[in-house]
């Protein structure tokens, strides 16, 4: 019981992580500390969530432990969004500058090596240009490789450091002491171009990777940016403006028209129309009166009101959504690149082969044995340099992502490629995904079939003065055959009900049923027109003239033209389609019937969508989630694959791995096809890169020498290494010619 009382959960930023194995190292080190229950690294967000007993271990000790393996925990104080963004921009700028400067130094080295190697003091010029690339711009490869070696592990940085380091040291030796090999009848070749170009290319790839990783955390930043900075509260009989983090439970908060609501609360007095689309995903504002609850960061449209604060700080709905997104992202195991996994075995094997080969040549090789042993050692390390491995994934991703962008499909990262083949359940939001997300007039009915053009002109003029979405829908509908220009004598906006206006001797009422009832307008369902309306699917806007019902507009959110066929195609491919919506049960039932969706739920909140995705995953499904609103972002982050509609909110887009620019469900099948093709190409690249090493390393070690006297020259080894890289690039470029309809 005591242990439960002292357990603390805290999230810390982690600095210095470069790959998934870095994240694993941080987790392992933290969980090995006494008092730490568990540690989960969110590599995309560069943070770690630690659950620990604060009576046993403090944050400072955890920081020391992480620093021992070359990383750092940022502890103390609140995370400032602007400061965090500035720090991230500095890191990206430094990564970009390192890559560009390395390329600038490497380009003349490559030109001299390939075309101008006979110029005076060529080796010394290349040495001067390569030294900064190895010793400064690419120093992180050697630093990380050393840290990995200290803990008896290896990754891609180890391979890069070994290959480029061996090439540079061998070249440096031949530059300083060329006579050593010349006296033994061996040309002292140098490989500065191999060392510098490999470092430059991988630095460039690291920059693009860092930029992509930065965007994966933008959903959190955008959500944090929605939070209101200040609030107007009543204290000691006065209205004062205070920072939102100083608002306390039971404070009375004043909200004016056009302002965002700062905290969650209940209305004490006043009424208004509130846009809660960021939470519910529904496009129509909701009428709020005394006793109704409101949600922080939602937008007050028209009236003013006072609320009693019920939830503040981390307890608000928006803060909980932010936390849900963080936990959903962190709950996924970081994508462990195949190259990194194999490198843990590959590196010790390569080193062993190089050392054993050198020892054999030294002990039983021809004269001079030391020379043959050294050349063999360097040749094995050079030909094993993982340039092809480093290019295998990023080149295929660059081509595949570019192909997708040309077709309106944006793929965020490689994690989707490992999951897409197993998707068998698709959870789809309704508003803005299956439907257009914009209210439109479905039909207009004159009651008792009496058409009145002057009435239409008056309705058009009155509705044009309102910014309510239903009024805007009516205005758009009437713009083709009604005229604006009539000036009402009186104009009263009735919050939550509609508009009352007077023109000449006529009184005009435009609004909902509550407005009609308030002014005792007859609302008999026996009237022609009312019988033809669609109450389950749509909203009604009534028009009464002199307390007599004259006109009825039926307004709805229409199903997209492509949705029905897209859903049918997905079901035919073996994917179950589930619809989730915050709309009414009747609407959900009708939409599901028209689109032939078998599984649906209505009147759901963001947490319900998240839990629904979790439930499907617990049942063994591999889930893809499609959405377009802030309310969808936790479920998008939790799903195995998150797919956002490009016309949706930025937060939804940043929470997803795939974004459909045109917002059509039919693009999902194309996205799956493209992802499969890209993943297949990556696997081919990795296979040939490793297969090349399996064949080339024994030859470099001299296995053919006893048979036919062939000894691989380090120069040829460098060329073979380059050829393997070129073959990987050309294989990736084949994706450009692939049709998305192919399976």
640 is catalytic: no
Packing angle of the helix pair 81-115, 192-216 (nearest 10 deg): 160
* Residue-wise burial string across 678-716, b where 16 or more C-beta atoms lie within 10 A, e elsewhere: bbbbbebbbebbbebbeebbebbbbeebeeeeebbebeb
* SS3 at position 422: helix
Catalytic one among 251, 264, 287, 429?
A: 429
Question: What is the spatial order of strands in the sheet that 490-494 belongs to?
Answer: 435-446, 548-559, 539-545, 506-511, 498-503, 490-494
| 133: phi then psi, degrees, rounded to nearest 5 | -65, -45
- What DSSP string describes 335-360? ---HHHHHHHHHHHHHHHHHHHHHHH
User: Using the 8-state DSSP alphabet, how is residue 527 labeled?
Assistant: S
Structure tokens at 160: 């890069």
Q: CB-based burial of residue 237 (10 Å sphere; 0-12 exposed, 13-18 middle, 19+ buried)?
A: exposed
Task: Quickly list H helices, 47-80.
Answer: 59-68
The Cα 717–Cα 241 span in angstroms is 71
Residue among 177, 220, 185 nearest 319 (CA)? 220
Residue among 445, 451, 455 nearest 529 (CA)? 445
Taking only Cα atoms into account, the Rg of the chain, rounded to an integer number of angstroms, comes to 33
Question: What is the spatial order of strands in the sheet that 641-645 belongs to?
Answer: 409-411, 658-660, 641-645, 623-627, 425-429, 576-580, 599-601
CA-CA distances (angstroms) from residue 527 to 107, 449, 514, 537, 689? 82, 10, 18, 20, 77
The Cα 131–Cα 137 span in angstroms is 9
Structure tokens at 542: 């009534």
User: Using the 8-state DSSP alphabet, how is residue 42 labeled?
Assistant: E
Cβ pair 238, 252 in contact under 8 A: no
**Residue entry with tokens 């690249």:** 685
| 380: phi then psi, degrees, rounded to nearest 5 | -65, -45
By annotation, the residues acting in catalysis are 429
């Amino acid at each position: 019981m005591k242990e439960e009382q002292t357990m603390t959960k805290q999230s810390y930023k982690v600095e210095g992580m470069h790959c998934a194995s870095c994240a694993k190292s941080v987790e392992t080190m933290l969980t090995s500390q006494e008092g730490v229950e568990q540690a989960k690294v969110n590599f995309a967000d560069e943070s770690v969530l630690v659950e620990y007993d604060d009576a046993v271990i403090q944050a400072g000790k955890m920081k020391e432990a992480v620093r021992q393996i070359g990383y750092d925990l940022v502890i103390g104080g609140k995370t400032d969004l602007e400061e965090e963004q500035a720090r991230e921009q500095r890191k990206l700028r430094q990564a970009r500058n390192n890559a560009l400067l390395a390329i600038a130094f490497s380009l003349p080295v490559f030109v001299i090596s390939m075309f101008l190697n006979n110029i005076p003091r060529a080796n010394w010029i290349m040495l001067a240009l390569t030294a900064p690339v190895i010793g400064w711009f690419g120093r992180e490869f050697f630093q990380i490789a050393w840290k990995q070696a200290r803990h008896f592990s290896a990754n891609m940085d180890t391979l890069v450091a070994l290959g480029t380091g061996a090439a540079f040291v061998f070249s440096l030796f031949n530059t300083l002491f060329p006579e050593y090999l010349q006296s033994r009848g061996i040309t002292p070749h140098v490989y500065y171009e191999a060392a510098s170009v490999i470092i430059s290319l991988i630095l460039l790839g690291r920059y693009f990777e860092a930029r992509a990783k930065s965007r994966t955390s933008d959903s959190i930043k955008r959500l944090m940016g929605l939070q209101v900075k200040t609030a107007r509260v009543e204290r000691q009989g006065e209205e004062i403006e205070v920072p939102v983090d100083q608002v306390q439970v039971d404070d009375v908060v004043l909200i004016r028209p056009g302002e965002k609501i700062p905290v969650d609360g209940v209305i004490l007095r006043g009424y208004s129309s509130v846009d809660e689309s960021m939470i519910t995903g529904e496009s129509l504002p909701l009428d709020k009166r005394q006793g109704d609850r409101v949600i922080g960061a939602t937008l007050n449209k028209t009236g003013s009101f006072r609320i009693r604060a019920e939830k503040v700080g981390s307890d608000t709905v928006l803060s909980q959504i932010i936390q849900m997104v963080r936990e959903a992202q962190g709950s996924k195991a970081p994508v462990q690149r195949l190259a990194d996994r194999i490198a843990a075995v590959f590196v010790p094997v390569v080193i062993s082969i190089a050392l054993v080969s050198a020892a054999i040549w030294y002990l039983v090789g021809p004269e001079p044995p030391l020379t043959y042993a050294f050349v063999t050692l360097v040749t094995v390390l050079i030909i094993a340099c993982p340039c092809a491995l480093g290019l295998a994934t990023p080149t295929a991703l660059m081509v595949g992502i570019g192909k997708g962008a040309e077709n309106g499909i944006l793929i965020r990262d490689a994690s989707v490629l490992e999951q897409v083949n197993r998707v068998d359940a698709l959870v789809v939001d309704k508003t803005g995904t299956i439907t257009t997300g914009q209210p439109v007039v479905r039909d207009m009915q004159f009651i008792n079939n009496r058409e009145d053009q002057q009435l239409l002109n008056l309705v058009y003029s009155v509705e044009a003065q309102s910014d309510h979405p239903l009024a805007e829908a009516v205005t758009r509908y009437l713009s083709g055959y009604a005229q604006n220009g009539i000036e009402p004598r009186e104009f009263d906006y009735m919050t939550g009900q509609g508009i009352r206006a007077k023109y000449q001797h006529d009184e005009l009422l435009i609004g909902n049923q509550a407005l009609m009832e308030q002014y005792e307008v007859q609302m008999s369902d026996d009237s022609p027109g009312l019988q033809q309306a669609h109450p389950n699917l749509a909203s009604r806007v009534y028009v009464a003239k002199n307390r007599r019902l004259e006109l009825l507009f039926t307004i709805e959110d229409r199903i997209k033209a492509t949705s029905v066929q897209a859903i049918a195609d997905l079901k035919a491919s073996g994917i179950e389609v589930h619809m989730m919506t915050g709309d009414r049960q009747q609407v959900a039932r009708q939409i599901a019937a028209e689109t032939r969706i078998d599984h649906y739920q209505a009147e759901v909140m963001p947490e319900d969508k998240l839990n629904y995705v979790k439930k499907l995953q617990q049942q063994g499904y591999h889930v893809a989630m499609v959405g377009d609103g802030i309310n969808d972002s936790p479920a998008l982050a939790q799903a195995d694959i998150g797919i956002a509609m490009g016309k949706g909110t930025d937060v939804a887009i940043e929470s997803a791995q795939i974004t459909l620019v045109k917002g059509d469900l039919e693009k999902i099948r194309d996205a799956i096809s493209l992802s499969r093709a890209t993943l297949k190409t990556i696997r081919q690249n990795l296979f040939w890169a490793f297969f090349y090493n399996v064949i080339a390393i024994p030859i470099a070690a001299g296995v053919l020498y006893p048979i036919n006297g062939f000894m691989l020259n380090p120069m040829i080894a460098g060329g073979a290494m380059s050829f393997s890289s070129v073959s990987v690039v050309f294989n990736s470029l084949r994706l450009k010619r692939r049709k998305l309809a192919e399976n």
